Amino acid sequence: MMLAFLGGTGAEGQGLALRYALANEDVIIGSREKDKARKTAEKLQALVPNAQIFYGSNIEAAVRGDLIFLTVPYEAEEDLLRILRDHLFGKIVVNVGLAMKIQDGLASTIELEERSVSAKCQSLIPGSYVVSAFQNISAVELLNSNHRMEGDVIVCSDYKEAKERVMKLVELINDLRAIDGGPLQNARFVEELTVLLVNINLRYKTRSAIKIIGV
């Protein structure tokens, strides 16, 4: 299975691609600038010499990917999804982003009509199976291959099989645990919780995560 990372040259895309390359998954880095994608793929290849790491434009990555990770900034998501809608039809699309702004040292959500970025993604690509996951995982820690990850990833989707497939992918990254967060409408709470974690991180100069007890 080929995992495609749209906007994969950013920290979150690189970090997830690195972790899945380490887990022996084939990955392709997509970007608006193909040369930028090439440089990122070469960087990751140097870290995981035996991995299958490819690169291309976002369109090429969307076509080649069996499962898609949407790792572009929120501001770029709508335009990109409108362009790629036909190429994403029938595929699982994992949204890892959220609408957040930081002003005067305080993080806050950007109000959306759809109430969450993941719900907005689903409305833009109705023929795809959108899954919300990874919002609360540190990109910095993902990029440090020597760091053992810790925490729970809450996964939300309206599609049971797609959600279960992404939950299995979550647990390929040591020591992350997937938690079934229910339907996609619950993604709004995960995104808002992530904003809270960012504020905690800003205040305490740390990288906090979440763990659900009793499960």
pLDDT at 74: 93
Question: Taking a C-beta distance cutoff of 8 angstroms, is the pair 191, 116 a contact?
Answer: yes
Q: What is the pLDDT along the chain (215 residues), one digit of tens a residue?
A: 999 999 999 999 999 999 999 999 999 999 999 999 999 999 999 999 999 999 999 999 999 999 999 999 999 999 999 999 999 999 999 999 999 999 999 999 998 888 899 999 999 999 999 999 999 999 999 999 999 999 999 999 999 999 999 999 999 998 999 999 999 999 999 999 999 999 999 999 999 999 999 99
Q: Compute the half-sphere exposure of residue 76: CA atoms within 13 Å on the CB side of its CA.
A: 12
Q: State the amino acid at position 203 in one-letter form.
A: R
- Torsion region of 90: left, alpha or beta (phi above 0 gives left; psi -120 to 50 gives alpha): left
- Record the tokens describing residue 136, joined without a space: 């609360």
| CATH class of this structure's domain 2-204 | alpha beta
The Cα 30–Cα 57 span in angstroms is 5
Please state whether the peptide bond connecting residue 175 to the residue before it is cis, i.e. omega within 30 degrees of 0.
yes
How large is the angle between the packed helices 74-84 and 117-124, nearest 10 degrees? Answer: 20
